[in-house]
Structure 1
Amino acid sequence: MIESLISDILFGFTGLISIINPFSVAFVFLDRTPTLSDEARRQLARRIAINAFFVLLVAFFAGTPILHFFGISMEALRIGGGLAVAVAGWQMLNAPEAAPREARDPEVRQSVAESGTSKAFFPLTVPLTTGPGSIATAIALNANRTHRLSDWVVSGIASVVISVLVMFVIYYVYSRAARLSNYLGVEGTRVAMRVSSFLLLCIGVQIILTGLTGFLTPIAALRAAP
């Protein structure tokens, strides 16, 4: 039982972290909070990490019933969520550089801080951090959960531990995004942000293509059938 629990935790954690990719999204987070102080950015990172924790818990324990209740297929989740991610990446890729005055003007700083706080859940948590890929992965990890009490307990404990580990990684990386930016320098940060934005766009398109493939494959199989 312990070996199965550890295996489930390692498998789920590595899978979700590779999909969420907080190290790349940290530059997106930094781009969305350009004039926040380090303390304000840490508070926002904490809020996003906590939000991500609850989003993953809901996906783990209630994702499949919620999708069934609303009649939403996994393909529709991927297509809709991938579109939101792709649009966010496109907007950031074409966003102009922030004016230097914005970093010095207290009123602008305050307005941006309030804007960043109001966007802690959408879009900073969903879909930029825990997007359709990670939600679909969390749902898939527990899709075949058996009704045996022992298996359900192991799977439930693994889901909670995975969500906690992902939450801490997101907070640690996001809260230190400015430090990483200082290490890279101004030009290095600009390049990293543009590359991250482009990768976000590509990820969104790939999620859409995955959803379309899952939707069209059964149709193509039916047409090919004699």
Structure 2
Amino acid sequence: MDMDIYGRLITIFLGFFAITNPIPNTAVFAGLTRKIDKAERYRIAIKSTVIAFCVVAFFSLLGKALFHLLGITLPALRITGGILVFIVGYQMLNGHNSSSHAEDDGDTDIAVSPIAVPILVGPGTIATAMNYSASEGSLGAIMAISMYALLGLITFFCFIFSAQVVKVIGGNGLKVITQLMGMILAVIGVQLLIAGGYEVVSMSNAL
């Protein structure tokens, strides 16, 4: 495999890891499932990660075609995605959660909401998946889906051992990890904005 592809895979994985931020999300999962027995926690962990994967796969495979249908250009997608990712990163740098971590209201399956959406897959994750897949065609989609699948597997095991993970990391550790991921996301967001802006300028000069 070409070293450039290895580099892209690592970049995609780190992008997804930063925006999904599985360690703090594990703490959220532990809190939401603290009164649920082990078997039910296992079911919720499986269902939420599978749903999240399906959402990312859908937008990675069909997002570009959907945007073509709506007349949305790749530079617009990159700029919008960059703004969303930057905002999420900025919020995390300031110690805020990247998603709406609402408690279950009792009327919905928490594996679907809020755990799968929006905790595991929010607007920033969708925009990131579409940016990666749209920029490199079918190969980009395959790389995005495979790297998110790997992240989903890691998240699943974090959920299964959520109590132990939270105990080991501790409150200060969670804060440091969240802010570090926020910095990475902010940089990724700025890079997407630069790439989108450059494409807009290039298209304008070509006219």
Match of 1:70 in 2: 70
Residues 53-68 of structure 1 mapped to structure 2, 5 A cutoff = 53-68=53-68
Residues 88-99 of structure 1 mapped to structure 2, 5 A cutoff = 88=88, 90=91, 93-94=94-95
Report deviation, 1:113: 10
Report deviation, 1:181: 1.9
Q: Which amino acid aligns with 2:188?
A: I
Residues 16-55 of structure 1 mapped to structure 2, 5 A cutoff = 16-21=12-17, 25-33=21-29, 34-37=31-34, 39=38, 41-55=41-55
- Unaligned 5+ residue runs, structure 2? 98-102
Matching residue within 129, 132, 138 for 2:127: 132
Report deviation, 1:62: 1.6
Matching residue within 188, 193, 196 for 2:174: 193
**TM-score (normalised: structure 1):** 0.60
Do the aligned partners of 2:84 and 2:124 also contact (CA within 8 Å) in 1? no
Match of 1:99 in 2: none
Do the aligned partners of 2:23 and 2:174 also contact (CA within 8 Å) in 1? yes
d(CA) in 2 for partners of 1:46, 1:35: 15
Distance 1:196 1:163, change over 3 A: closer
- Unaligned 5+ residue runs, structure 1? 97-108, 146-154
Out of 163-172 and 25-34, give the one that drifted further: 163-172
Report deviation, 1:198: 1.8
**TM-score (normalised: structure 2):** 0.64
Do the aligned partners of 1:13 and 1:165 also contact (CA within 8 Å) in 2? no
d(CA) in 1 for partners of 2:144, 2:204: 40
Matching residue within 171, 174, 187 for 1:206: 187
Do the aligned partners of 1:82 and 1:207 also contact (CA within 8 Å) in 2? yes
Report deviation, 1:77: 3.2
d(CA) in 2 for partners of 1:123, 1:44: 15
Structure (1 or 2) with the larger CA radius of gyration = 1
d(CA) in 2 for partners of 1:59, 1:172: 24
Deviations 1:89-137 (A, max 9, x none): 51684459xxxxxxxxxxxx86599695422343212238844334422
Report deviation, 1:29: 0.6
d(CA) in 2 for partners of 1:42, 1:119: 16
Match of 1:142 in 2: 137
SS at match of 1:72: coil
Question: What is the number of equivalent residue pairs in this alignment?
Answer: 194
Out of 86-95 and 57-66, give the one that drifted further: 86-95
